[in-house]
Amino acid sequence: MSKSKNSSGQKNSLRDHPPGSGQVPTEAVLGAGGELHQNVSAKIADDDGAAFLTDNFGHRISDNQNSLKAGERGPTLLEDFVLREKIFHFDHERIPERIVHARGSGAHGVFECTKAIPGLTKASIFQKAGGTCPVFVRFSTVAGGAGSIDTPRDVRGFAVKLYTDTGNWDLVGNNIPVFFIQDAIKFPDLVHSVKMEADRGYPQAASAHDTFWDFIGLMPESMHTIMWAMSDRAIPRSLRMMEGFGVHTFRFVNEKGEGKFVKFHWKPVLGIQSTIWDEAVKIAGADPDFHRRDLFEAIDAGDFPAWDLGVQLFDEAFAAKQPYDVLDATKLIPEEDLPVEIIGRMTLNRNVDNFFAETEQAAFLPTNIIPGIDFTNDPLLQGRLFSYLDTQKSRLGTTNFHQIPINAPKCPFHNFQRDGMMQTLVPTGRANYEPNSLVEAGEDGGPRASPETGFTTFTANDERNDPGQKLRIRAELFADHYSQPRLFYRSQTDNEQAHIASALVFELSKVTLDHVRARVVSRLRNIDEGLAKRVAEGLAIDLPEKAKAARAPIDMAPSDALSIQKRAKDMLKGRKVGILFADGSDKAAIDALKAAIEKAGGTAFLVAPKVGGIKVKGGTLKADGQLAGSPSVLFDAVASILMPDAAAKLAKDGAAVQWFMDAYGHCKTIGHCSGSQILIDKANVQPDEGVVPVEDFMKTGVKRHWAREPHVRDLA
Ligand code: HDE
């Protein structure tokens, strides 16, 4: 730990505290001068090595089981400071949850620059290929509370904190490249509408209700993000299999002060993958922590998730030519028009040691930006620049939240900000103002601004980007609300389009107000007439009149990059296969399949009616999970190795039949042996290219067999 003083005399000891030591930072334990008072026994642990239990002020506790009472059966005494401190602290353990993105999971990692781009930006992290910095990432859902499920239909937060040597850079993005609204002033309305309804306090973590769709129906600019939110992007299979986007247009600025627009993309190395809605609903019951567990377990097992950082770079001339405004966060730039160039890779390689201290207390700020990167005038981004700093004060309770280890920069920081609640630094000297000339008196004068290397705001010097006037208006092209939703919908495969239509039917069926339903469908007519018709039929309502568009949509060329299925990676790595066995199953066959799955980078999870040692052919075998607690929705593919009599017994068990029924319904590969036939028949699993003899499982692979979908589900 560094005990060095910075130039203002502050000790930045807390931020240097190594995570995971489970100790209060030494300097908080030691005296202000760092020395341990020698009149206290130097022994800090008992003979077994366990630390002595103390209260928060270091007093050793003799009894942690009984409070201090007036007599054996008498009342508890106020004098019992041990009891009072313990209960007092417990009573105040909770802090306000985030107003949005309350449910989240975090991990540490490293970012590595793979392609230096000094000509484009002076950001230190992009100066040299191979340069690295630590990162902390928090993924989240948006609408639900901190204890809500992991798999609702929702946008996912993708917030990355890069601890660079020139300060923290927080790229606080989402897994969807566009947003519902164009101007920050609408954010409180959007959030109020999607959260549980104000009078009844439900639904939790769901957009399928009146107030959300009422707001959406009245807000045509939301239609593009609605397409994404109703697509399978909003029900990811794993946090490791989502793309991330900076959403806004940012700027790169080089040493010469020249600017280029930039959009940031995170591309998952494991590819993008989603669940099916029915599956997402069932996972919510089977494992509400599905994503959190998956992330934790993967990192724990050394299977580190990684993303490539890509950029779309362009100049004002390109921006001026596009049929949309690049400052409008409801628009994206198709990758086919402007390819994504990969410049770095982020790998998450360490779980948090303490969820509260790190994940919950992490405070992301879009204003955390470093020299070489700058904002643009995107009105949504501009509003965010205020909101995040503001909200941390209400959530973390103090303006000194930057001193919490997870938020503190890993480079030195010095300034004249002083005091405030829970100040943990101990600045020395008198220099708490600037300018000062204390140096001339031989004192420490504190830090000074750096005109050369400090952050300077980019000046565009052109009419479009520095207009100068202050007006409460939106730029003209912001009025095109439909061209990009149409682009998104038309870029999907047939069954991805069907999923969007079904999601809209599901959500709008939960809406109880007829006029709200009709209004949304009237908007869909501007996106795609076929989609509007499907949804109207699914709702059994007449096709309403087409909504008037503020600006007529144009047809953009479909983009394959917008479809999950067109870019699907057919791989076992990072995927989980459930193998069902029971009494008498062939151990050698199970072992061989498990080994093959693991060799290909996947995880094999053994499922049986009982978890302890089951007698199988060739010995006994333990299961990883009990059948009733391990439904097939938790796996990407399933296989079964069963003897006919064991299968016949299981055919009477609803959990076993459902296991196959769901795997089939969710279009997964099913590998089975002849012994399982009775179960397969009971589950009404029909032969197709994804239902194969277990010997062919590896050849068939872990993928969705979408051709099956029309046979198992009535697609809207
Ligand atoms: Fe946020 N957003 N947001 N947001 N946002 C918050 O900050 C806000 C927006 C995003 O894991 C809050 O610390 C406004 C877009 C993520 O801790 C709050 C507007 C994007 C997270 C806030 C937006 C995001 C947040 C709540 C409209 C994608 C979770 C707690 C102008 C680019 C970060 C907090 C984490 C969190 C405000 C819109 C992403 C209230 C006013 C667009 C990933 O400050």
Q: What is the CATH number of the domain that holds 549?
A: 1.20.1370.20
Rounded to whole angstroms, the Cα distance separating 608 from 255 reads: 63
DSSP state of 695: G
Q: What is the pLDDT of residues 373-424, one digit of tens each?
A: 999 999 999 999 999 999 999 999 999 999 999 999 999 999 999 999 999 9
pLDDT category of residue 18 using cuts at 50, 70 and 90: very low
User: Could you tell me if 328 and 238 lie in one domain?
Assistant: yes
Is residue 100 in contact with ligand 1, taking CB distance under 6 Å? yes
The answer to whether residues 561 and 618 belong to one domain is no
Amino acid 41: pLDDT: 52
Q: What's the CA-to-centroid distance between 97 and ligand 1, angstroms?
A: 13
Residue nearest to atom 38 of ligand 1 (CA): 384
> pLDDT per residue over 416-450, tens digit each?
999 999 999 999 999 999 989 999 999 999 999 99
- Do the domain assignments include residue 198? no
Residues 646 and 596 in one domain: yes
Report CA(100)–ligand 1 centroid distance (Å).
7
Residues 394 and 257 in one domain: yes
Domain that holds residue 608: 575-712
Q: How far is CA 227 from CA 180, 236, 536, in A?
A: 10, 15, 16
Which of 185, 187, 384, 390 for mutating ligand 1's site (highest number of atoms within 8 Å of CB)?
A: 384
Residue nearest to atom 6 of ligand 1 (CA): 100
Mean pLDDT of the chain: 93
CATH of the domain at 591: 3.40.50.880
Q: Are residues 147 and 296 in the same domain?
A: yes
What does the block give as tokens for 448?
């000074």
Q: What local confidence, expressed as pLDDT, does residue 463 receive?
A: 81
Band (pLDDT 50/70/90 cuts) for residue 714 is confident
**Predicted-complex ipTM score:** 0.97
Q: Is 388 flagged in the annotation as binding?
A: yes
Q: Same domain for 322 and 394?
A: yes
What pLDDT is recorded for position 43? 65
Residue 682 placed within a domain: yes
User: What would the pLDDT profile of 310-321 be if each residue is shown by its tens digit?
Assistant: 999 999 999 999
* 584 in the same domain as 536: no
Q: Which atom of ligand 1 is nearest to the CA of 106?
A: 11
Q: For residue 26, is pLDDT > 90?
A: no
The answer to whether residue 695 scores a pLDDT higher than 60 is yes
- Averaged pLDDT, 201-212: 98
Q: Is residue 28 part of a domain?
A: no
Quick check: 559 pLDDT over 60? yes
515 and 582, same domain (yes or no): no
Q: Could you tell me which of 240, 234, 246 has the C-alpha nearest to residue 205?
A: 234
Residue 447 in any domain: the answer is no
Residue at a domain's end among 386, 403, 420: 403
Residue 187 placed within a domain: no
The CATH number that applies at residue 258 is 2.40.180.10
The total domain count for the chain is 3
Give the SS3 label for residue 206.
Answer: coil
Instruction: Say if 154 falls within a structural domain.
Output: yes
pLDDT band at 468 (very low <50, low <70, confident <90, very high): confident
The two beta strands, 670-672 and 691-693, are parallel
Quick: pLDDT tens for 136-187. 999 999 999 999 999 999 999 999 999 999 999 999 999 999 999 999 999 9
| Domain shared by 384 and 261, yes or no | yes
State yes or no: 395 annotated in a binding site. Answer: yes
Is the per-residue pLDDT at 637 higher than 70?
yes
Asked whether residue 15 carries a pLDDT value surpassing 60, the answer given is: no
Please tell me the distance from the alpha carbon of residue 590 to that of residue 697, in angstroms, as a whole number: 12
Residues 6+ apart with CB under 8 A from 552: none
Among 566, 586, 602, identify where a domain stops: 566
Is 98 within any annotated ligand binding site? yes
Please say if the pLDDT value at position 347 is more than 70: yes
**Cα-to-centroid distance, 309 and ligand 1 (Å):** 20
**Could you say which of 534, 566, 598 is where a domain stops?**
566
Residue 454 tokens, joined: 């400090």
In a domain, 234, yes or no: yes
Task: Answer yes or no: do 252 and 332 share one domain.
Answer: yes
Distance from residue 666's CA to the centre of ligand 1 (Å): 33
Ramachandran quadrant class, 701 (left: phi over 0; alpha: psi -120 to 50; beta: rest): left
Closest by CA position to 279, among listed 241, 236, 240, 239: 236
Mark whether 245 and 174 lie in a shared domain: yes
**Catalytic positions:** 101, 174
Mutate to test the pocket of ligand 1, among 172, 359, 368 (most ligand atoms within 8 A of CB): 172
Q: Which atom of ligand 1 is nearest to the CA of 138?
A: 11
